[in-house]
Structure 1
């Protein structure tokens, strides 16, 4: 009898538990949102159409001189002449500095006297050798002494020439580092000469735009100093290696003019228009869902949103080029995709 009571109590407990769970399940299901298949979701759309994907990009850089050099002497000594001032224009071969060469000239004079003595000895030995009055070896030694002295004189004359320091090219003296009377050593800087007859505008271009440039390309340069003037330039260098930010240096050479003189260090900018794409099928950037590796769009067909995979080409700030997956005239969803699933009924707002 006792066992029957326990069994009945157990069955009753299990039944109560099952009834409670079933009731809770119904309550939970009632609270869960179930979309109405007949209710349409409001979305915004745009039409896939042919667009000119040309885009203009502006790049800022600074002007560098065509050439710049620190003029350094190849001789040591005291500067006896320094006929330059900062800001002065100097032509090619213009005297920059003269170093004292007095001692070298004395050595040349002494070597010339020695050479004259050897030449006189040579004449005497030539006559004596003809009469067998002296060995021919004396004649040969004198000839060698003459050649050695002549080489010594040439070396001294080259050292004298090195005491004259000239401008290697035309330019402006942008820095004078010594004064007349200074004692300098070989290789020490005397002055800096800068050639700004043409300037090089160097700009950093991101990798997505680097293919828009090519060597020899003509491109206009503008500056804030002369806002109403465009300076014709030509691309002369495109960097083969980018920096950590994946930017590549592009160099545009600009011929300087006397009317609107550009100076090294000024800012300049270029506006490059990419006309390579022309007319191509494009949609707004907001229409793309998913990732760039697997882009998708919702296309409105027969009142429903149909999810389609597409292939992306060129991009601008506002549009993506579509190379595969859409046709001109397709209407794509640009807003409201978060409420959509493949096949959801939609209405354009």
Structure 2
């Protein structure tokens, strides 16, 4: 009986011991799993290093004048047309040739018109003689006033017809209405033309035009007749003087105002239609400004800011006060100093605590 009780006791003790060991093992495994999960969470929450590009805040020199881009246009474009019909017996219209005002460019066969003119001349001469003769007869009482008036009317009608015939003869010659350069040719010698036929085109380049679109804050200071400086891309070392010839008072969809610049084209370096130019308005006075590139700017409409890179390789959101704009640069009046490093790319990756793994600085 006693031995049986001891056996039962040992069995219970063994069972309890195994149970305790299993419980300890399970709890140890659960703790280990919890530590692994927590470690993974910590790794997820840990800021990840990133790469970015930056530039140095620097002082640059700019001109106070505002520059606008434009394209040279001919001062006048003249289309030559025929005023009569007939066969072309002479043509001096060739692309690229320079012509002077009054020079003959096209001759239409004048035979028919010349014959009609000669007949009209003879008719007028006869009517003039008849009128003079009747005036003499009237003075001697041998012709009535009615006969004299009728002869006068016939002479006037003949004179009108003579003028028409003379004009028609003149229409067989096509002359250059202005000096310029032939830029288009539509006919050849031997072809037949009718009234209204296009013969060619002259571009007048003694004066050229440039149209630019000026911002509203600048156009308020412009006046017709103001002098501007023009620089052509083709002649980087030369300047041309232009004048404001027209200011259109209606803004475009982009809220800019069309302004026409007229330039006397009398230099050896001739401006040609289609050349790209810069029009400089205002005085070219050089001023220094602390600037950043436009792509460094962040923030919102109320507060401009940049990400300033500290020596600990962390980017810090830094409010700034902007100054004047200079094309691709923005002036900074407060918040930065020369030599500061500001980010220009990777701005969307910036988070508190994140460090820059690789930073490329470009000047």
Pick the TM interval, shorter chain. Answer: 0.5 to 0.7
CA RMSD, 1 decimal:
4.7
Shift of the 146–279 alpha-carbon distance from structure 1 to 2, 3 Å rule, reads: same
**Where does 1:48-63 land on structure 2 (aligned, <5 Å)?**
55=64, 57-63=66-72
Contact 2:87 2:192 in 1 (8 A): yes
Which residue number in structure 1 is paired with residue 156 of structure 2?
147
- Contact residue 54 and residue 273 of structure 1 kept, 8 A: no
Structure 2 residue ranges without an equivalent (≥5): 1-60, 306-320, 335-341, 344-350, 353-363
State the 1:184 CA deviation.
1.6
Q: How does 1:312-323 map to 2 (within 5 A)?
A: 317-319=329-331
Task: Give the aligned partner of residue 249 of structure 1.
Answer: 258
Would you say the 8 A contact 1:315–1:321 is kept in 2? no
Q: Counterpart in 2 of 1:233?
A: 241
From 174, 179, 186, the equivalent of 1:170 is 179
What is the CA-CA distance between 1:313 and the residue it aligns to?
A: 9.0
1:20-59 equivalent positions in 2, closer than 5 A:
55=64, 57-59=66-68
SS at match of 2:273: coil
Distance 1:191 1:287 in 2: 54
Q: Describe the superposition over 1:227-277 as per-residue Cα deviations: whole angstroms up to 9, x where unpaired.
A: 3x222222323332222122322333333355323211111123456789x
* Distance of aligned partners of 1:135 and 1:240 in 2 relative to their CA distance in 1, 3 Å threshold: same
Task: Establish whether residue 100 from structure 1 lines up as the match of residue 109 from structure 2.
Answer: yes
Equivalent residue number for residue 272 of structure 2: 263
2:25 corresponds in structure 1 to: none
- Tell me the TM-score normalised to structure 1 length: 0.61
Does the 8 Å contact 1:235/1:250 carry over to 2? no
Q: 1:262 to 1:126 in 2, by over 3 A?
A: closer
Q: Please state how far the C-alpha of 1:145 moved relative to its aligned partner.
A: 0.8
> Which ranges of structure 1 fall in alignment gaps of 5 or more residues?
1-51, 298-310, 323-333, 340-349
Shift of 1:127: 4.5
Q: TM-score, normalized by length of structure 2?
A: 0.59
Choose the corresponding residue for 1:85, options 83, 88, 94: 94
Change beyond 3 A, Cα 1:221–1:115: same
**CA 1:239 to 1:129, structure 2 compared with 1: closer, same or farther past 3 Å?**
closer
> Do the aligned residues in 1 keep the contact of 2:323 with 2:330 (CA within 8 Å)?
no
Q: In the alignment, is the contact (CA less than 8 A) between 1:233 and 1:254 conserved in 2?
A: yes
Task: Find runs of 4+ consecutive structure 1 residues off by over 6 angstroms.
Answer: 285-290, 294-297, 311-314
